[in-house]
């Protein structure tokens, strides 16, 4: 008796007659509009007490505790983005002010040196010749 007999090998599955695959389907917007109508609407799902809507590639909860938490998180994210933009603007303004202060200080130092040079030259000119 052979060690590996054929009676334990699984049967081969029969080949399907009509192959249905997404690769062969035309999923263009015109085709979808023709099959589903011009206004498909929002995709909604209800799982128990939770309801969600599919919007821009994300499932957004509409009801229940998760829905309230999601809305609060979205509001906080929006506020965070706004505060980050304001912070970046204030950092840029601070940088510009520091540059202006540096330039003004440098110009004041140059004017001070020039004034001292003129004063020393005037004092040398005023001395009586001996």
The pLDDT of residue 80 is: 98
Helix, strand, coil shares of the chain, percent, nearest 5, are: 55, 10, 30
Task: Quote the pTM value.
Answer: 0.49
Query: Is residue 55 within 8 Å of residue 42, measured between CB atoms?
Result: yes
| Residue 2 belongs to a domain | no
| Residue 53 belongs to a domain | yes
The pLDDT of residue 3 is: 61
As for how many domains the chain has, the answer is: 1
Q: What is the pLDDT tens value at each position of the chain, 130 positions in all?
A: 556 655 666 778 887 766 555 555 666 777 767 777 777 778 888 888 888 888 878 888 887 777 778 888 989 999 999 999 999 999 999 999 999 999 999 999 999 999 999 999 988 877 665 5
| Residue 7 belongs to a domain | no
Domain residues for 59?
31-122
């Amino acid at each position: 008796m052979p060690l590996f007999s054929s009676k334990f090998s699984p049967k081969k599955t029969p080949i399907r007659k009509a192959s249905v695959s997404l690769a062969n389907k035309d999923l263009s917007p015109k085709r979808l509009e023709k099959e589903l109508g011009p206004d498909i609407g929002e995709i909604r799902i209800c799982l128990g007490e939770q309801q969600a809507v599919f919007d821009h590639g994300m499932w957004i909860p509409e009801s229940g505790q998760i829905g309230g938490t999601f809305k609060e998180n979205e509001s906080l994210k929006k506020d965070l983005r706004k505060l980050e933009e304001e912070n970046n603007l204030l950092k840029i303004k601070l940088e510009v002010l520091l540059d202006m202060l540096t330039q003004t200080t440098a110009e004041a130092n140059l004017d001070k040196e020039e004034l001292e040079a003129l004063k020393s030259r005037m004092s040398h000119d005023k001395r009586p010749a001996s």
